[in-house]
Amino acid sequence: MTPAQPLDRTSFETNGQDEIDLSQLARTLWRGKLLIILSAVVCLLIGIWYAYFQAVPVYTSKAIVALESRQEQVVDIESVVTGLSGDQATINTEVEVIRSRGLIEKLVLELDLLADPEFNASLRPKSNFSIGAAVGFIRGILGSPVEERVIDPRGELDAVIDNVLKSISIANVRQSYVFSITAITQHPTKSAKIANTLANLYILEQLETKFNATQQATSWLTDRVAELQIQLEKSEAEVKDFNASAQLVSPEALTGLNRQIKDLRDRLRETTAVKEAADARLIQLKTIAEGDDVEAIANAVNDPTLNRVLQLMQASGDSNPDRAAFDARLNQVLTRAELEATRSSSQIDALQNSIAEQERQIEDQSSDLVQLQQLQREAEASRLIYEFFLNRLKETSVQAGIQQADSRVLSDAVVPLSPSAPRKSMILALSMMLGLMAGSGFVLLREFAQNTFREASELESRTGYTVIGQVPSIPARRRKNVLKYLTDKPTSAAAEAIRNLRTSVLLSNIDNPPQIIMSTSSIPGEGKTTQSLALTQNLTGLGKRVLLIEGDIRRRVFSQYFDIADQPGLVSVLSGNTQLSESAIRIDELGADVLLGEKAKTNAADIFSSERFADFLNHARELYDYIIIDTPPVLAVPDARIIGKSVDAVIYTVKWDSTSHRQVREGIRAFEDVNIRIAGLVLGQISSRGMKRYGYGDSYGAYSAYYDN
């Protein structure tokens, strides 16, 4: 046999699993239609029982409340509590305010819902079948004292509030300032009353909140105004006392002093300049007077008297009397220059003393004036604050009587005429849908959970090999009756299936029809031996010479099909102790020769891998038209893989609804690992009853007219 290339393992392992076959899914649901219908009917009956006999009708009533975005302003006074802004956060806050436990507690007390059994579980009649009743009954039998339940008023109120909250829903209409307050109870009047009362309590809550805030603001402002009045009087008294104790000039007089000191500083600068000029002239005159040139001295001094003396000197020829007069006049000029310098120094000192005195006066007056102004400012600030709070107190007092709620009732809740639940038609529809879904889910879960093969298409999709035969279970109680059944029932479904298998095997390779055919499986008990016998019998019916070899020399099950005694078989032929013609037994029921297996001291794998076995098969090819070898399961021992290298075709049998996916996958992989390609798969021992039970239908039911079972 020329080994074929094995399939890609990756595709083999994932084939049929990565994609959802919708047609396969539809077929699976169709096969389980009875279970799906049964599930739908059961759920529908449960829905009918619940909707008509179990469910308590409830009634829904709805009140509509609008948030006021515009407020009427009776007087132009700013409110103590501003109106609501209307943004989403504010709307959500108001929804929670309506749902608050404080407001619901007011509702409970207003409508006396503590006395309503619908909300107060302690008022409901106790069931004799409850857990508490059962515990009390057991305690009574055992003689244990029954503990009386102590009712906590606060806990009872909280439980009623919780139940009322469950029956109320608050919703905001999108893109609006409108709220819906919905109440659902077992009585129509009660639903309307709860919705309307809650809406009114919500509006009253807003008014009370504003009124309380205004009252608190008024009380606080009254106390604050009294404090500010005392503080104002104190500030004004401090100003008055300071004016009386300090010798203050007016700001205008202080401004006059500043102007005077400015004039004194100007005169000081002028006098300083005069002194500097006088000092410079005195120095110059003294320097010149030390010289002998009288004409230069007269010109420098520029004194008229001194100039006349000089002229006299020049006229008299520089006489001594004239010289003495010149020197005397020069000394007078120097003395006058010294007096001018001294007088300027005295003026400067006097001006500096006057400036210092003026600055001291200004500093003293400015300090007192600044302190006075600070006291006056504080008194003015106290007056302004006092007047502001006094005005706000008057405004707040006015607001106490003109408060407006931020919401109003758009429409009151009306008493519903019919219950809103249970919606019987919806319950029945959902029950049926749930039943269909549950049934479908169970069918699909059962189908996906099953790890065996029930259809040839599934076997092909998961393995990648063609199913060349589907053989039903042969209704024979004993194995010895199998061949008799096929002989007596040549037109039975099993016989026709074997003929189809024979045709598929012979046509598996048209150019080189297989002569040596091996039959194997994954595990024992899958029907490969019965299939080998039936195929042998069918081939002899064509007038062919057929040799059936019992390749499973470990178990040797052929004796269970024929009444034959142990005698030399395959091992004897391979060892050369006997010839094939001597060991082959003619079985009339088969119309073929059978070579039995027998125990061997040598390992079976060594026997089949020997050259003698290959020579034996070549010799058998010359004597027979077809050779059928029944081998052990491939997962049990390696014999099948060794024999498979020497045959022309390998038929792999999978038992219907028995062999697992993993066993088939590992068995096929064992052949692919040694480059042996399987000619085809056979789905064997198919049960007609099982097919009907799983919803596949009888595979042969459509052709029952052609079969004689």
Q: Counting beta carbons within 10 angstroms of the beta carbon of residue 262, is it exposed (0 to 12), middle (13 to 18) or buried (19 or more)?
A: exposed
Average pLDDT (134-163) is: 73
Domain hosting residue 127, numbered range:
52-214
Q: Which helix (H) or strand (E) holds 527?
A: none
pLDDT at position 455 is 87
pLDDT at position 129 is 55
Predicted confidence (pLDDT) at residue 691 exceeds the cutoff of 60:
yes
Same domain, 205 and 305: no
**Dist. CA 623–CA 587, nearest whole Å:** 17
> Does 404 reside within a domain?
no
pLDDT at position 241 is 82
Which of 168, 193, 214 is the last residue in one of the domains? 214
The pLDDT confidence band at residue 76, using thresholds 50, 70 and 90, is very low
Predicted confidence (pLDDT) at residue 2 exceeds the cutoff of 50:
no
Same domain, 386 and 491: no
pLDDT at position 202 is 93
pLDDT at position 402 is 60
Provide the number of structural domains found in the chain. Answer: 3
CATH number of the CATH domain containing 658: 3.40.50.300
> Does 116 reside within a domain?
yes
**Dist. CA 395–CA 403, nearest whole Å:** 13
Same domain, 652 and 510: yes
pLDDT-wise least confident of 50-59, 322-331, 468-477, 697-706: 697-706
The pLDDT confidence band at residue 709, using thresholds 50, 70 and 90, is low
Indicate the pairing of strand 592-595 with strand 585-587.
antiparallel
Predicted confidence (pLDDT) at residue 279 exceeds the cutoff of 90:
no
**Dist. CA 664–CA 79, nearest whole Å:** 87
Provide, rounded to the nearest whole percent, the portion of the chain with pLDDT above 90.
40
Tell me the pLDDT of the chain averaged across its residues.
83
**Helix boundaries (H) for 143-250:** 153-166, 188-245
Strand ranges across the sheet with 59-67: 168-172, 178-185, 59-67, 407-411
> Which of 652, 654, 656 shows the shortest CA–CA distance to 691?
656
pLDDT at position 24 is 75
> Does 36 reside within a domain?
no
Same domain, 513 and 627: yes
**Dist. CA 170–CA 161, nearest whole Å:** 15
pLDDT at position 483 is 85
* Tens digit of each residue's pLDDT (9 = 90 or more) over 542-561: 999 999 999 998 888 888 88
The pLDDT confidence band at residue 416, using thresholds 50, 70 and 90, is very high
Predicted confidence (pLDDT) at residue 17 exceeds the cutoff of 70:
no
Same domain, 181 and 259: no
What per-residue string of b and e applies to 205-235 under the rule 16 or more CB within 10 Å gives b? bbeeebbebbeebbeebeebbeebeebbeeb
pTM of the complete model: 0.52
Average pLDDT (43-59) is: 92
Same domain, 583 and 638: yes
**Dist. CA 551–CA 515, nearest whole Å:** 16
Residue 614: count of CB within 10 angstroms of its CB: 13
pLDDT at position 405 is 78
The pLDDT confidence band at residue 349, using thresholds 50, 70 and 90, is confident
* Tens digit of each residue's pLDDT (9 = 90 or more) over 456-489: 988 999 999 999 999 998 888 788 888 888 888 8
* Tens digit of each residue's pLDDT (9 = 90 or more) over 95-129: 999 999 999 999 999 999 999 999 998 888 876 55
**Dist. CA 515–CA 527, nearest whole Å:** 22
> Which of 453, 498, 526, 542 shows the shortest CA–CA distance to 707?
498
Which is higher by pLDDT, 627 or 492? 627
* Tens digit of each residue's pLDDT (9 = 90 or more) over 432-452: 999 999 999 998 888 787 788
Same domain, 554 and 677: yes
Sign of the dihedral defined by the CA atoms of residues 671, 672, 676, 680, in that order: positive
Q: Phi/psi at 655 (nearest 5 deg)?
A: -75, 135
- Kindly give, in sequence order, each residue whose CB lies less than 8 Å from that of residue 256, ignoring residues fewer than 6 positions away: none
Which is higher by pLDDT, 666 or 403? 666
Partner residues linked to 694 by β-bridges = none
> Does 467 reside within a domain?
yes
Which is higher by pLDDT, 367 or 540? 540
Same domain, 469 and 393: no
**Dist. CA 312–CA 290, nearest whole Å:** 21
> Does 15 reside within a domain?
no
* Tens digit of each residue's pLDDT (9 = 90 or more) over 585-634: 999 889 999 999 988 878 888 899 999 999 999 999 999 999 999 999 99
pLDDT at position 8 is 47
Which is higher by pLDDT, 329 or 707? 329
How would you write 287-339 as a 3-class SS string?
HHHCCCCHHHHHHHHCCHHHHHHHHHHHHHCCCHHHHHHHHHHHHHHHHHHHH
- Residue 622 is encoded by which pair of tokens? 């010359």
> Which of 525, 504, 511 shows the shortest CA–CA distance to 679?
504
The pLDDT confidence band at residue 404, using thresholds 50, 70 and 90, is confident
Average pLDDT (154-183) is: 92
**Dist. CA 524–CA 629, nearest whole Å:** 16
Same domain, 323 and 384: yes
Average pLDDT (221-231) is: 89
**Dist. CA 587–CA 298, nearest whole Å:** 183
